[in-house]
A and B are shown apart, each in its own frame.
Chain A
Amino acid sequence: MELDTARTEAWLRAAAAAVTAREAELTALDTAIGDGDHGSNLRRGFTAVLAGLDAEKAGGTAAADRSPGILLAAAGRTLISTVGGASGPLYGSALRAAGRALPGASAGPDEVAAALGEALGAVRSLGGAQPGDKTMVDAWAPAAATFAEAAGQGLAAASAAAAAAAEQGARATLPLVARKGRASYLGPRSAGHLDPGAVSTALLFAALAEACRER
């Protein structure tokens, strides 16, 4: 199985659905240790991503112009232009970097692994966060690494493993003390709360697993 245009679109649509369905939960997490807008900002961004996908479909864009890389890069640009805050540039740059790494009409598991690595690199270079800083990196890093390790088992298995790793990474942010972003102002008081960005990253990987499930 390869990541083709249909699965990439399904990934983005599933991510949008998840962000919308879990908006209140993301906002509640962000209210505890941030400024309470993570859910509404991501919903606004992914709603715009959906509108972009729909417009392209309605406009009858040629298949060659809807490769996985082009779809991801376009979604990234939309997130940068609509989300604001830190999560807009971070998710937007991640998807753009992944998109740039996927030039073909479809991509095998190894190529997807490399693209996810590029995405993680973009997040880390823009935000400067290390694993353990209680940020989205704590979900991205194990997810990307697990995907690469499991790539030999195929796209569906690697995606499922990465989603589980992202989920576990997000849960592991609970006891951490934040060292980046707005939660860092809380110092020790940030411990005992999940990082909202790590949780939304887990949603993104769960959406990838859903789009790449064996049917």
Chain B
Amino acid sequence: MKKLINSPETVVADALAGLAAAHPELAVDAAARVVRRARPGAPGKTALVSGGGSGHEPLHVGFVGPGMLDAACPGEVFTSPVPDQVLAAARAVDTGGGVLFVVKNYTGDVMNFALAAELAAEEGIEVATVLVDDDVAVQDSTFTAGRRGTGATLVVEKAAGALAELGAPLAEVAALGRRVNAASRSYAVALTAATVPAVGRPGFELPEDEIEAGVGIHGEPGRRREPLRPARELAAEVVDTVLADHGLAPGDEVIALVNGMGATPLLELYVVFGEVADRLADAEVRIARSLVGNYVTSLDMAGFSLTLTRADAELLRLWDAPVATPALTWC
């Protein structure tokens, strides 16, 4: 294992110290493991709190700031945060308007946020939860923990964050978040596995000429192993897989996110995006907005995910609204 770390035990704490040093506009509570805006939201604003295992940066800590999250709770690498963290975050950012938890659908995240929601409710903090489950690789959700939350998390956090900034009440922001999740589908392919620092070895073995199609953001296995092929063919397969599940019709508009898994260069991500755009054009699906880069990563995994969110006027307005976070900024 070759990593820029001091020790596997301190990697999350050390990264949070770096985040604090780099971003004075964030308040990093190292003891509570909560990252929030240094300048709190307006009184009564619906507050957004998200969190999850570390190792997916910039998700979630890089999305804290005006127009997006009010606070994020980073857990250990690939391990959900504990209820104490989430409760501390909720306490810190609630200004009377209640708190929306954006939770990716993993057993641990769901349990820890649910316990935190109970504790917050006991303290009189109003909480609503949006569960993100956009990964079409999980097909049989009756006999599994359900679809995983991946790239759509960014779209949910961006749109819901924008609506909250406009003063919408908690119930409305939660409804919007659920609508965005329902309008989103994702699918990912891995070229290599991620190495968790505390483990020291890649999470799975993949031969030089094979990919894992449908991989999860913690290296969960996908639908199948496939031979590595040119980007055009891989992109076409990924687009077709998402479209087959999505039910998009010719003429529909989408927000398209081509997301790097951590170790794939932007050069390659743009190659992929070009192929994705061609394939969507063939299907007569129009790309209304696009985003290319490393946003929902899996440590040092190579590969990419595609997220397509069906867009309408309201969603595009919220997508275009100003945002100022370490990882996503426009005005």
List residues of chain A with CB under 8 Å of any chain B CB. Answer: 27, 31, 35-37, 40-41, 44, 80-90, 126-127, 177, 179-182, 184-187, 189
Contacts and interface: CB of A to CB of B under 8 A. Distances in A.
Closest 9 CB pairs of A and B: A184-B144, A85-B108, A86-B108, A89-B111, A84-B79, A86-B107, A185-B220, A35-B218, A181-B107
Chain B's interface size range is: 20 to 34
A52 to B, nearest CB: 14
A181 B108 CA distance: 8
Chief secondary structure at chain A's binding surface: helix
A184 B216 CA distance: 12
B83 A89 contact: yes
Given A36-B203, A185-B138, A185-B145, A80 B220 contact: no
A180 B76 contact: no
Nearest to B146: A184
B203 A182 contact: no
A80 B82 contact: yes
Contacts of B143: 177, 179, 184, 187
A126 B108 CA distance: 11
16 contacts: A37-B77, A80-B82, A81-B83, A84-B53, A85-B80, A85-B108, A85-B112, A86-B107, A89-B108, A89-B112, A127-B111, A180-B107, A182-B218, A185-B145, A185-B216, A185-B220
Contacts of B199: 27, 31, 36-37
A37 B79 contact: yes
A63 B78 CA distance: 40
Interface of B: 53, 75-84, 106-108, 111-112, 115, 137-138, 140, 143-145, 148, 196, 198-199, 203, 216, 218-221
B42 to A, nearest CB: 32
A92 to B, nearest CB: 9
Contacts of A83: 82
A36 B144 CA distance: 19
A40 B148 CA distance: 23
Contact of B203 (A35, A86, A88): A35
B75 A84 contact: yes
B145 to A, nearest CB: 5
Contacts of A31: 199, 203
Contact of B221 (A41, A179, A189): A189
Contacts of B218: 35, 182
Contacts of A85: 75, 79-80, 108, 112
Contacts of A184: 143-145
A31 B198 CA distance: 12
A168 B47 CA distance: 48
A89 B84 CA distance: 11
A92 B321 CA distance: 42
A88 B82 contact: yes
Contact of A182 (B75, B115, B140, B145): B145
A85 B145 CA distance: 14
B107 A127 contact: yes
A180 B83 contact: no
Given A36-B203, A37-B196, A90-B111, A185 B80 contact: no
Nearest to B204: A31
B83 A35 contact: no
A80 B148 CA distance: 23
Interface centre among B111, B148, B218 (most CB of A within 10 A): B111
